[in-house]
Amino acid sequence: MALINRRTQVAAALSALALVFSTSACGGSDDDGSGSTSAKNFTFLAINENTTVPTTLTTLSQKECAAQNTAQPLEIKKQAQASLDQQLQLLAGQGALPQTFIAANAPSLTKQLAGSGSVLDTAAAAPGVLPAASSTIKSLYDGQQLVLPTELNIEGIWYNKKLLADNGITTPPATWEDLVAAFARLQGAGVQPISQAGKGGDGWGVTRWVGNYILRQQGPDALKKVADGSAKLTDPQYVAAADAIAALGKAGYFGKSPTSIDYATALNTFLTGKAAFIYMGSWALSDFNDEAKNKVGADNIGFLKFPTVAGGAGTADQMPANVGTAVAVSKKAYESDPNTQAWVKCIVENYGTVALRDSNQITGFATDGSVQVPALTKQIQDEISKVQTSVLWFEGQFSAKATTVSQANGGLLAAGQLTGEKFMQTVSSNLS
């Protein structure tokens, strides 16, 4: 997930130094006389907060990629997500990046590392990447395929079918006006319209509403224009989008005290039937399909593309998408090490099937079609297969600092405590 990452400088520096010393042994390699070298281990730098990627790689090392693992045994190291970016900068500066690693929290850092020759453009190495994933990655990284899509998430508004039907909403809202009318009807009946986290960095869920409104109103290039300097977040049309979400907050549609609600609480509120809508990515399918967590039933959850805005240049088919916790490849290691090349090839060919089979995780890799999935997961797979144009989230092209500020202030919008203009001014002042 693209969540907020608060960094503690001292802890980051200490953990980075620890990793440098612990990976010094990985620098050992064998030269076969041809100029190519082979590291003793195939090292992957994981983050503590994600278990799916290391678990899937471990399974691959034991089965589908057993031959590659014999030649170059898998070695997994772990790192706190909050200090990942500092870690990668330090390791890259010392020429000590592992063969594979979780990509930087800030896409701008991954682009910087690629610009310095540290990160591989995987387009040639990963021909099995799905078009929707490739489009998403390239839109994020200026036309380069700098990561392997170990996740592929589409985002949208999920809704409780029964709550809508019980309150006379028989058709899922297709326009912004219809959606706001549904919110008003639900609130009038005593039902919380939206469950969304707004506590600290978890405010990204609220800023997703802002970003999507901008894209529906102005078209899929609207946020790219901000990134390249041809538009500003403080321009009237951008402020209008933030004002639209602030209006939802003032009306109380996000519930009481959204600034005190974290991600887990917001998700639980929706899954226990206490709210009708939630903006969320398809990474939550594992929760939706978990009978212990989902008290409303997976068959009672619907998926709604973010609706159109009257007179807007964007369409509902322009799907918000991301590749979540993706994996980057060291360019130096890949180009100099045949065993690393073999490992990457095996991952590309098999990761998608294994992750779907064992973790119910949709990825950006092709699968062999052998895995039977729940109906809701199949619906999202079908949606992904139809994506022609993907769009990025609100902070997708922001600096790390601006991302932090934006997501930390999202909850204030949802609480009706911040105007759209003030929100945009605050974020804009931190873009550079």
Inside any domain, residue 128 = yes
Percent residues over pLDDT 90 in the chain: 79
Give dist(CA 235, CA 310) in Å, integer.
19
Inside any domain, residue 37 = no
Written as six digits, the tokens of 19 are 């990793």
Q: In which band, very low, low, confident or very high, does the pLDDT at 93 lie, cut at 50, 70 and 90?
A: very high
Query: If you search the block for the tokens 């020429």, which residue do you land on?
Result: 95
Asked if residue 334 and residue 289 are part of one domain, the reply reads no
CB count within 10 Å of CB 18 equals 13
50-57: average pLDDT: 94
Asked if residue 343 and residue 245 are part of one domain, the reply reads no
Inside any domain, residue 383 = no
Q: Interior CA angle at 365 toward 360 and 370, to 5°? A: 55
| Segments forming the whole domain that contains residue 405 | 154-320+391-429
The 8-class DSSP code of residue 260 comes to G
pLDDT given for residue 270 in this prediction: 98
pLDDT given for residue 386 in this prediction: 86
Q: In which band, very low, low, confident or very high, does the pLDDT at 390 lie, cut at 50, 70 and 90?
A: confident
pLDDT given for residue 324 in this prediction: 87
Determine which of 12-26, 246-260, 261-275, 311-325 has the lowest per-residue pLDDT on average.
Answer: 12-26
369-392: average pLDDT: 89
16: left (phi over 0), alpha (psi -120 to 50) or beta: alpha
pTM over 0.85: no
pLDDT given for residue 401 in this prediction: 87
Residue 337 dihedral angles phi and psi, to the nearest 5°: -130, 105
Inside any domain, residue 406 = yes
Of the candidates 118, 45, 48, the one whose C-alpha atom is nearest the C-alpha of residue 82 is 48
Average pLDDT, the chain: 90
pLDDT given for residue 105 in this prediction: 86
Inside any domain, residue 374 = no
Q: In which band, very low, low, confident or very high, does the pLDDT at 160 lie, cut at 50, 70 and 90?
A: very high
* pLDDT value at 11 more than 50: no
Inside any domain, residue 385 = no
Asked if residue 421 and residue 292 are part of one domain, the reply reads yes
Pair type for strands 100-102 and 42-47: parallel
3-class SS letters over 157-172: EEEEHHHHHHCCCCCC
Asked if residue 295 and residue 167 are part of one domain, the reply reads yes
Q: How many domains does the chain have?
A: 2
Asked if residue 175 and residue 80 are part of one domain, the reply reads no
351, burial (CB in 10 Å: exposed 0-12, middle 13-18, buried 19+): buried
How many alpha carbons lie under 13 Å from residue 81 in its C-beta half-sphere?
A: 18
pLDDT given for residue 30 in this prediction: 53
Of the candidates 355, 44, 307, the one whose C-alpha atom is nearest the C-alpha of residue 171 is 307
Of the candidates 73, 85, 102, 98, the one whose C-alpha atom is nearest the C-alpha of residue 20 is 98
Asked if residue 166 and residue 143 are part of one domain, the reply reads no
127-150: average pLDDT: 92
Q: In which band, very low, low, confident or very high, does the pLDDT at 47 lie, cut at 50, 70 and 90?
A: very high
Asked if residue 117 and residue 256 are part of one domain, the reply reads no
With contact defined as beta carbons under 8 Å apart, do 285 and 362 qualify? yes
For residue 189, the domain's CATH number is 3.40.190.10
Inside any domain, residue 36 = no
Give dist(CA 208, CA 226) in Å, integer.
16
pLDDT given for residue 14 in this prediction: 35
The 8-class DSSP code of residue 104 comes to P
Asked if residue 170 and residue 221 are part of one domain, the reply reads yes
- Which one has a higher pLDDT value, 431 or 102? 102
Q: Which residues contact 238 (CB under 8 A, 6 or more apart)?
A: 214, 218, 222, 226, 231, 232, 424
pLDDT given for residue 13 in this prediction: 38
Give dist(CA 76, CA 397) in Å, integer.
30
**3-state SS assignment for residue 77:** strand
- Which one has a higher pLDDT value, 131 or 343? 343
Asked if residue 258 and residue 163 are part of one domain, the reply reads yes
* pLDDT value at 56 more than 70: yes
Give dist(CA 282, CA 286) in Å, integer.
9
Query: If you search the block for the tokens 């453009």, which residue do you land on?
Result: 121
How do residues 226-251 score in pLDDT, each as one tens digit? 999 999 999 999 999 999 999 999 99
179, burial (CB in 10 Å: exposed 0-12, middle 13-18, buried 19+): buried
Asked if residue 243 and residue 305 are part of one domain, the reply reads yes
CB count within 10 Å of CB 315 equals 14
With contact defined as beta carbons under 8 Å apart, do 65 and 343 qualify? yes
Asked if residue 273 and residue 191 are part of one domain, the reply reads yes
Asked if residue 193 and residue 263 are part of one domain, the reply reads yes
Written as six digits, the tokens of 291 are 């009978």
The 8-class DSSP code of residue 295 comes to S
Angle between helices 236-250 and 176-188 (to 10 degrees): 20
Inside any domain, residue 379 = no
